[in-house]
Amino acid sequence: TSHTNSCMRQQFSTELNVRISQFAANFVKNFRSYMGNDDRVPDLSIHSFGYMYLADTDGFADVLRTNQKVQLAAGAATQLLSPDDIAARYPFYNVDDIKLGSINLVDEGYWEGSTVFDWWRRQARERGVEYVTNDVVAINRDSTGTRIDSVTLASGEVVSCGQLVNASGPRAARTAAMAGIDVPVEPRKRFSWLFRAEQPLDRDLPLTIDPSGVHVRESGGGTYQCGGHIAHDPAVDFDDFAMDQAFWEDHVWPVLAHRIPQFEAIRVQSEWAGHYAMNTFDHNAIIGPHHDVQNFFFLNGFSGHGLQQSPAMGRGTAEILTYGAYRSLDLTPFHYDRIIEGRPIVEDAVI
């Protein structure tokens, strides 16, 4: 979480993903209320600089137009911008090769994800939740094979469980395999850089998704955060966080300098690699119960959307565990059974 982009957007191609992000925005803006009006909880806000999708082909421009219709119907405030519109609002962009832009300046941008997670953990502990630092080495089914009755830890301790939620990020497939279950989630490496510009921009930089796949955003104080991944995007080892300097020198920096000429002169402040928990089936979350193992629940495969989707997905999972049904937003389309039945939810707006 500390190395995430910590941003949220409503520019998705599926209505349910838009709704999920809208709840995230509501949750962040009313964080103290959702946390029981605890006076210790800080007020949070969203720095709504927006996401700027840039299309350099007629085909992707048509995708942005189609997506905007979905987003507007769901209540988002997405605007389509011609190259002249973009240049007028954000004169630092080079738009010579751009055909269309898409941006939403309402509840779309940066938020303090680390603060949210810190308070979730803090209040959970205060309410009796025990955090155990250990490794699960086995997940054990009961005699019928239809329920998980315990997990075995590396320490040798066996912990009984009434319900089990697989929320193990990029390791989701390894965790599920211990229960004899398949889930199509792999760790995919994503690189990030924080840099300072010799000539900072004169206004906020939206989280810009260049047609090349490189993305960059405002980070405050004359600094900017960018990221991307190599074209060949293989699964990696769970402990592989090595950087690729050639990727920065040969691809990322040239893309930045082309799109925003002021980024010709920049100095990298820090860099890191992280892992997407990539759902290789359709790049969308996998949640809900297993079809045969009744008390095994998924919270996996967010494919880079995990932080912004965590409020809605966490609420939905809590509803299923507590009531056996959703009481707010129906998340059934993201259930695991779509994997078994071969029903992908195609999301066109994946970064």
Q: What is the pLDDT of residue 236?
A: 97
pLDDT truncated to tens, each residue of the chain (351 aa)?
556 779 999 999 999 999 999 999 999 999 999 999 999 999 999 999 999 999 999 999 999 999 999 999 999 999 999 999 999 999 999 999 999 999 999 999 999 999 999 999 999 999 999 999 999 999 999 999 999 999 999 999 999 999 999 999 999 999 999 999 999 999 999 999 999 999 999 999 999 999 999 999 999 999 999 999 999 999 999 999 999 999 999 999 999 999 999 999 999 999 999 999 999 999 999 999 999 999 999 999 999 999 999 999 999 999 999 999 999 999 999 999 999 999 999 888 777
Scan for tokens 């997407």, then name that residue: 276
How far is residue 200's CA from residue 211's CA, in Å, rounded to a whole number?
Answer: 23
Q: What is the pLDDT of residue 5?
A: 79
> In 162-176, which positions are buried (b, 16+ CB within 10 angstroms) versus exposed (e)?
eebbbbbbbbbbebb
How far is residue 62's CA from residue 50's CA, in Å, rounded to a whole number?
Answer: 20
**What pTM did the predictor assign?**
0.94
Residue 100: φ, ψ to 5°: -165, 150
How far is residue 161's CA from residue 270's CA, in Å, rounded to a whole number?
Answer: 42
Scan for tokens 């009755």, then name that residue: 149
Q: What is the pLDDT of residue 274?
A: 96
Q: Which domains does the chain have, with CATH numbers?
A: 1-127 (3.30.9), 132-184+281-341 (3.50.50.60)
User: How many Cα neighbours within 13 Å face the side chain of 1?
Assistant: 15
Going by C-beta distance under 8 Å and a sequence separation of 6 or more, which residues neighbour residue 322?
A: none
Q: What is the pLDDT of residue 1?
A: 52
3-state helix, strand, coil in the chain (%, to 5): 30, 25, 45
CA distances from 68 to 13, 22, 52, 77, 81 (A): 8, 15, 13, 9, 11
CB atoms within 10 A of CB 61: 19
Give the SS3 label for residue 274: strand
Length of the chain: 351
Q: Which amino acid is at 68?
A: Q
> In 314-337, which positions are buried (b, 16+ CB within 10 angstroms) versus exposed (e)?
ebbbebbeeeeeeeebebebbbbe
How far is residue 10's CA from residue 126's CA, in Å, rounded to a whole number?
Answer: 33
CB atoms within 10 A of CB 74: 18
